[in-house]
Amino acid sequence: MEKLREELLQANVGTVKENERMASHTTIKIGGPADLFVEPKNIDSLKKTMEIVRKYDVPWRAIGRGSNLLVLDEGIAGVVIKLGEGLDDLYIHDTEVTVGGGYSLIKLATVISKQGLSGLEFAGGIPGTVGGAVYMNAGAHGSDMSRIVKKAQILFEDGTIEWLTNEEMEFSYRTSVLQTKRKGICVAATLEMKKGNRDEIVAAMQKNKDYRRETQPWNYPCAGSIFRNPLPKYAGQLIERAGLKGYTIGGAKISEQHANFIVNAGGATAKDVLELIDYVKKTIYDLYGVSLQTEVEIVGRK
């Protein structure tokens, strides 16, 4: 790891840190150290980072805002590559928007709605990056990324960069080809928006945001929905019906506002959250015969 770190530093790829606590890079504020943590300066630095990491044959993972991650207390083996500033270019050409993978989704939704472009009203309250949203096919309020992504630019492990079409991205409920078949980093996406009335678009997005403020725990660190909805049922409804709102293990608590959110109520560890997840799964299975699957991604050394 030391040689890899030195080579990354020599290549001047951007910020390179050793044993970086992931709690500082996840919205739930939990997570042990990553062996190496890199924030590339730009696309060339990202390509260089990938080239060097590949040479050393160590595990790697791209992250955005860490808003869908539960990093275990033992941390992450290998290299974490965080996309943010430096991979956040934005080009708007008529109804076509091309945006870097590190761009904030909330910021993008705000910027383009103000331009009278419709399609991202659902995303005004989803606190991730464009890359993370493409990987997850993030969605809300009856829409998701698959409705607007025309193509996504992916950097693969072997150093090749390809634009994948919407079909090639194989989007489905909270998933994409990047989760199922082809590991790569989404460095940019082209979105196809629709022209609309600026005031109506801004108002629709604000309505969605207000609804979230009322129904979701914005005042505590969290990682969004913990479980995928076992459609046509909703995980939150099942957990609420089971009387689990407010149930607490250590510092991890089922939100009083939304039963599908686990919040870090103070000093929670990943172990607390995992135990709470297991407790909820068992309770829901025993009561309703439904096996809940996690939507939050659990990563790190076991």
CB of 285 to ligand FAD, least distance (A): 24
How far is residue 218 from each of residues 27, 215, 224, 235, 281, measured CA to CA in Å?
11, 9, 10, 19, 24
With respect to ligand FAD, which residue has the nearer C-beta, 15 or 27? 27
Please give the Cα distance from 44 to 37 (Å, whole number).
Answer: 17
Cβ-based neighbours of 84, under 8 Å, separated by 6 or more = 39, 64, 65, 102, 129
Catalytic residue among 174, 176, 212, 255: 174
CB of 50 to ligand FAD, least distance (A): 12
CB of 287 to ligand FAD, least distance (A): 26
Cα end-to-end distance, the chain, whole Å: 20
CB of 121 to ligand FAD, least distance (A): 12
Q: Which residue matches tokens 């022209």?
A: 195
Rg of the chain's alpha carbons, rounded to an integer?
A: 19
The footprint of ligand FAD (CB under 6 A) covers: 27, 61-69, 83, 101, 126-129, 131-133, 135-136, 138-140, 178, 185-186, 216, 222-224, 297
67 classed as catalytic: no
Please give the Cα distance from 302 to 288 (Å, whole number).
Answer: 30
225 classed as catalytic: yes
Q: Residue 279 in contact with residue 247, Cβ under 8 Å?
A: yes
Determine which helix (DSSP H) or strand (DSSP E) holds 179, and give its type and residue range.
helix 177-180
Signed CA dihedral, 245, 250, 251, 252: sign only: negative
174 classed as catalytic: yes
With respect to ligand FAD, which residue has the nearer C-beta, 52 or 152? 152
CB of 195 to ligand FAD, least distance (A): 25
Residues with catalytic function: 174, 225, 295
